[in-house]
Structure 1
Amino acid sequence: MPGPIRTHNAKNSGNHFSPMLSTSSMRKIQTALSGSWAPSTMQGYRLAIQKYHQFCDRENISKPLRTPASELVLCAFAADNVGKLSAAVAHNQLAAIKAWHVANNWTWHGSDRLTQILRGVKNLAPITAHHEARQPIPLHAIELLNSRLDKSNRIDAAILACAYTAFWGQCRLRELLPSSSKIPTPGTLPLCTSLRLSTRNKSAWVLHLPRTRTNSSGQDVVLVRQRSSLDPISAIQQHLLINRVPHGSPLFAYYSDSGHVSMLSKKTFLERCNKVWTEAKYPRYTGHCFRIGGTTELLLAKVPPDVVKTMGRWSSDAFLKYWRSIEDIVPLHAKNVRTHRK
C-alpha cells in the first residue's frame, strides 16, 4: 500500500506520548497489514491511489491536504467521473482510498453526503457503463464437454475434471487454476493431496482450497456423486489415473506431449471449453459462469437454498445477486403454497 505505515498519526491520535517502536516492530506491522489484503486486491488499490493523486494534481490539491482526505475532496473524487463510469468503479476507488487511510491510521472523513453522491453516480451512469450480467453455464453445456472432450487425452481429462469441479463445487476458476502455465505461488492452489475422502460420509469427497477470494486461510469444497456422465469424483479419478502427476503437483496438472508436468492455466482451460461450445453454436462463457451455473443447477434440482449457499460458500447478498434463473427457481419453491387461513 503506498505511503508509510504508522502506529499512530499525530494529527489524529489523542495520545501525544506514543512510544518509539523498534524497526523490527514496525516491520511486523507492515507485514501484518500487507497480509490483510489479497495480492490482486492490493494491485487494484495501488492503481486507484495513483488515480487519486492524478486527480489531486489536476485540482492543484497540495500533498499535505491529500492525506487524510477531507470530506470535500472525497466527494469531489467520487463525483469526478459522474455520467462517464459505473458506480462500481467509484465504489472500488473509494474502497482503495479508505484502505490506504486505514493502513496509515488516518482519519476517514466519509459522510452521508458522500453516500448520496455515490447514489447519484449510480443513477447517472451511462448505459455503456453497465456490464451485462454473466450468464450461468447450463447443464447441457457441461454435458457437451463430456461428449466432445477426449477422456483418454491427458489435457482433456484434466480440463473435464476441472470443469466438473468448478461447476458442482461452485468454485471460482482462480481458486482452481493459475492465470498462466508458470508454476504457481506455493499455497495458492489445491494440490493432488488436497483431495480426500470424507471421514463422515463415504459418498462425499472434500477438496481443500488453500486460498479463496474471501478467505486467505482457505475453505473446503464438498463434492458429491452425480450421475455417471457428470460425476466430478469419477472425472477427477480418471484424470489422476491417466496423468499420474506427482502428489505434490497442482490438482489439475497434466503431462504434456514432451513428457513434462504442465500447469493447466485458466486461459488454456477456457480456450478449450469455448472451442467446444462455439463449434456447437453455443455462446462463449467466462470462468465465473461455472460457479453461478452450478449454483443455478442445484437450485433448479430443488436442493434447499440454504444448503446451496453453504456448499458454494456464498455471502447472502452475493448469493441472491447470482440467481440468474429466478423465474425458473421460484415456482419450484413457492408454487401452491399451503395457507392456514380459515
Structure 2
Amino acid sequence: VGEFLNWADSAGLDQQDILPPAEATLCNFAASFAGRLAGATVKAKISAVKGWVARRGMQWKGGANLGRVLSGVERRAPASSFRKERDPVKEDHLRVLHESLDLSGKCGKDHAIAAAAKALFAGQMCAGKLLGSSPALSDFNHKAFPAVRDLLPPNNTGECILRLPKTKTAQSRGEKVILVSKAGHTCPNCAFRHHLQVNRLGSEHPLMAYENKHNELAILTKSNFLTRCNDIWSSKGLPRMTGHCFCIGGTTHLLISGMPPDVVKALGRWKSNAFLKYWRNLDSLASIHLHRHHAQQKYHNRIQHRNRSAPY
C-alpha cells in the first residue's frame, strides 16, 4: 500500500483520485512494473491495495481492463523473476540417508530423521507438514502437528494412516496421509516403528520427538532435519534439498512408477491440478504414459477384431 501511495504521489494524484482508485489508475500502477517484476508479485501488490480500499468501506473499481493489464505484465516478466525449478528428492537420497544415519538404536535423533524423510517422500509432503521450528516440548502445538496417536496402526494391507491436524488447505479439518508399506530402505512404516521404539514415545508425545544425549525428549525441527540431511547428501556429492523437494520427489516418483496421475493427485491430497507444475522428468513420464496408451489401444483393437471375427 505504501508503494502505491508513493507511486500516486509521484504521478501527481490527490487523495480524491486514489480513494477509491479508478480502474485506469490501477492499470497504470500495475503497468509500471511491466518488464521489472513477476506477474504474481504485481498481483499481490494489487491485492494489497484492494484490501486497503475494502477496509475503508469503499467500492473496488478493478475489472476486466485491470485483468488484461495484469496478464500483459505477467507475459513481460523478466527471466530473473522466475525461480529455478527445485530438484526432487529421489530414492537414491533416501538410500544414502539410510546408509549414513546411525540406525543401530543408539541415536534417537537419527531414527526420527529417517522416519521423517521416508514419510515425507512416501506421503508427498513438504517438511513443514511434520516439522516445526522449536525443539522444546513446551512449545509443541498439537493443533498444528501430529502426535504419536495420529499415526494409526497398519491395516490388513500394511498401510498406515497419518492424521495431520492442520494444513495450509485444510485449516480446521486437517488431512489424512496414506503411508504404504514397501520392501527396502524407503519404507516409512518400518522407519516409524523403529523410531517410536528407540525413542520410547507414548501416544500423547509429539510424533517427531526423540531422546537427546541427555535422555530428555526434544522435538526434531525442520532446520535440524534439513541440515542433517544436506550435510550427508553434500558429503556424497548429492545436491542440497529444501523441505519442498520431498513433496516434489514423492509425486514424481509415483508418476514415473506408472501410477495414473488422478491416483497420484488423490494420494497427494491435491485440491486442484496445481500439482502438475511440480512434475519432473517429463520425458520419462511422457514415454511411460504414451507406451501405456498405445498398449491399451492395441489391446482394445485386438478385442474388437476378435469379437468381429467370432462366429455367431
TM bin (shorter chain): 0.7 to 0.9
Give the corresponding residue for 1:215: 170
Q: State the one-letter code of the partner of 1:224.
A: V
**Larger displacement relative to structure 2 (237-246 or 179-188):** 179-188
The change in CA–CA distance for 1:198 and 1:160 in structure 2 (over 3 A counts) is: closer
Mind listing any 5+ residue stretches in structure 2 that lack a counterpart? 306-312
Give the corresponding residue for 1:46: none
Q: Distance in 2 between matches of 1:141 and 1:134?
A: 15
Aligned partner of 1:249 among 198, 205, 209: 205
Q: Deviations over 1:286-335 (max 9, x none)?
A: 11110010001111111221111001011333121111122111221212
Q: Deviations over 1:9-68 (max 9, x none)?
A: xxxxxxxxxxxxxxxxxxxxxxxxxxxxxxxxxxxxxxxx45445544555655565454
Q: State the one-letter code of the partner of 1:163.
A: A
The reply to whether residue 205 of structure 1 matches residue 160 of structure 2 is yes
Q: 8 Å contact 1:255–1:261 — kept in the other structure?
A: yes
Distance apart, 1:143 and its partner CA:
1.2
Q: 8 Å contact 2:112–2:208 — kept in the other structure?
A: yes
Give the corresponding residue for 2:192: 236
Distance apart, 1:71 and its partner CA:
1.6
Question: TM-score scaled to structure 1, two decimals?
Answer: 0.77
Q: Distance in 2 between matches of 1:83 and 1:126?
A: 6
Aligned partner of 1:286 among 238, 242, 261: 242
**Larger displacement relative to structure 2 (137-146 or 107-116):** 107-116
Distance apart, 1:154 and its partner CA:
1.0
State the identity %.
Answer: 35
Q: 8 Å contact 2:145–2:165 — kept in the other structure?
A: yes
Q: Helix, strand or coil: the match of 2:163? A: strand
Give the corresponding residue for 1:167: 121
Q: 8 Å contact 1:253–1:263 — kept in the other structure?
A: yes
Give the corresponding residue for 1:128: 80
Aligned partner of 2:181 among 220, 225, 236: 225
Give the corresponding residue for 1:115: 67
Q: Distance in 2 between matches of 1:64 and 1:220?
A: 51
Give the corresponding residue for 1:264: 220
Q: Distance in 1 between matches of 2:228 and 2:191?
A: 17
The change in CA–CA distance for 1:254 and 1:79 in structure 2 (over 3 A counts) is: farther
Distance apart, 1:91 and its partner CA:
2.3
Q: Helix, strand or coil: the match of 1:222? A: strand
Give the corresponding residue for 1:327: 283
The number of residues matched between the two structures is: 293
Distance apart, 1:171 and its partner CA:
0.8
Q: Deviations over 1:62-103 (max 9, x none)?
A: 556545443233223323322222112112333444455566
Q: Distance in 2 between matches of 1:314 and 1:206?
A: 17
The reply to whether residue 176 of structure 1 matches residue 130 of structure 2 is yes
Q: State the one-letter code of the partner of 1:210.
A: P
Q: Helix, strand or coil: the match of 1:254? A: strand
The change in CA–CA distance for 1:51 and 1:164 in structure 2 (over 3 A counts) is: farther
Q: State the one-letter code of the partner of 1:212.
A: T
Distance apart, 1:186 and its partner CA:
4.0
Question: TM-score scaled to structure 2, two decimals?
Answer: 0.84
Q: How does 1:146-157 map to 2 (within 5 A)?
A: 146-151=98-103, 152=105, 153-157=107-111
The change in CA–CA distance for 1:246 and 1:332 in structure 2 (over 3 A counts) is: same
Q: Distance in 2 between matches of 1:190 and 1:225?
A: 20
Q: State the one-letter code of the partner of 1:319.
A: F
**Larger displacement relative to structure 2 (64-73 or 118-127):** 64-73
